[in-house]
Amino acid sequence: MRNRARNGALEPVVGAYAGYLRHRGYASITIENYLQCAAHFGRWLTEQHIDLHHVDEPVLHRFLTVHLPVCHCCKPGPRTPANLRRALRHLLRMLRSEGIVPPKSMLISEVVSEELQCFDKYLKDVRGLAPATRLYRLRYVREFLLAQFGWGPIALECLKPDDICRFVTDRATGCQPRTAGIIGDCLRSYLRFRRLQGQPTEVLIAAVPRIAHWRLAAFPDSLTDSELKGFVNAFDRTCPTGRRDYAMARCLVDLGLRASEVASIQLDDLDWREGTLRIAKAKAKRTALLPLPAQTGRAIVDYLRFGRPKTNSRALFVRHRAPRDEPVGPSLVRNAVRCAYARCGLAQRWTGTHVLRHSAASRLLRGGASLKDIADLLRHRSVNTTTIYVKVDLPRLTAVALPWPGRLT
């Protein structure tokens, strides 16, 4: 009875949750902390008469945003929102892995779930889109189908052009032009998919608003040489995680890799004899072989010799904290870069990793590299994509600029 009172509705799964955390290499103090968080959540579930099998993201959100700010529980346990959020996310993953609560895909109707699976197969097999691109398209199409049909059958023939236009404009409110354009592109892609299935959707496709956005209208952001120097010097290369983060940063800075490409590098992708790095999961789904700069190679060697923990993973960059024995993900790469920005005083200007890719291209252009060379390094399928960097090549632009009319030369 005492345990039941302490853990509430979660009492039957506390042991499984502790085993789940131990299996992933969490420290004993962290496991105890997460169990206290789960106990607090379990008591709240009991008070709210919420069954264990009905736990999902909305229930977690309600606990964190409605209950926690006004919590007066006699045994509240940990109350830090970030700590509770991490603990409860792990709890929900465990509950789903054990089949105690339904998988996330079952939070929508079976009809919508099957439709999204077919659409995803089309995007992968017919369009050849990368997983990240497919994820965005599925996200907005899921929202569209749920908004229009809910748990009922999908009946596009009942939709009017105004329904399409209203959905895009509502979702695009407050978004940047590029994001608003992506929403329209996702919906247009889905309607074309349905047209291939034999359904006449030409009128609906024509109704999708086209958001004005010119890809080459803006200037590419880039770090100055002094900012770049401060950034690469912001890593603590005396500790294992600092060596790892510095090596990842060198891949971003020297090779212009994307965060996802850095995270996916395997040990077998490095050819030390030839001095090359293979990018096997590039955005264009083509394997690329890049020269490995000496500075980048030294950073990787330093990490391999003095920083990388013992692990069975063949990934080059692995996690140093629980869950251990797993490769880093793109989000960890981005977080390492954001922390470095904060340490060197650039956090107010930059938050992402793509500016490092732009900076690499701008440096090459200033150094005399051709657009073709830069396009090859960045793995652009078309040189036209690379032409945006001409805008920041001021010396060459000055050479071709005509004198102002009436000005003596």
User: Comparing C-alpha atoms, which of 184, 153, 318 is closest to residue 245?
Assistant: 318
Paired strand residues for 112? none
Eight-class DSSP state of 74: S
- 160 included as an active-site residue: no
Q: Is the dihedral of CA 328, 334, 338, 340 positive or negative?
A: positive
- 380 included as an active-site residue: yes
Peptide bond into 405 cis (omega under 30): no
What is the C-alpha separation between 323 and 100, in angstroms, rounded?
A: 22
Report how far apart, in Å, the C-alpha atoms of 276 and of each of 284, 340, 364 are: 19, 27, 19
> Token digits for 299?
């950073």
Paired strand residues for 279? 288
Give the three-state DSSP class for 289.
Answer: strand
> Token digits for 296?
């980048």
User: Comparing C-alpha atoms, which of 181, 307, 156, 286 is closest to residue 242?
Assistant: 307
Of the candidates 124, 283, 338, 366, the residue annotated as catalytic is: 283
Of the candidates 258, 281, 358, 363, the residue annotated as catalytic is: 258
* CA torsion angle 398 404 406 407 (round to 10): -40
What is the C-alpha separation between 41 and 77, in angstroms, rounded?
A: 10
Of the candidates 40, 194, 308, 357, the residue annotated as catalytic is: 357
- 354 included as an active-site residue: yes
Cβ neighbour number for residue 172 with a 10 Å cutoff: 18
> Token digits for 73?
């529980």
Q: Which own/partner contact pairs does 404-407 have at CB distance under 8 Å and 24+ positions apart?
A: none
Planar angle of CA 317, 264, 99, nearest 5 degrees: 95
- 372 included as an active-site residue: no
φ/ψ (deg, to 5) at 331: -65, -35
Q: Going by C-beta distance under 8 Å and a sequence separation of 6 or more, which residues neighbour residue 80? A: none
What is the C-alpha separation between 393 and 391, in angstroms, rounded?
A: 6
User: CB of 53 within 8 A of CB of 101?
Assistant: yes
Of the candidates 188, 319, 358, 380, the residue annotated as catalytic is: 380
Cβ neighbour number for residue 28 with a 10 Å cutoff: 9
Active site residues: 258, 283, 354, 357, 380, 389
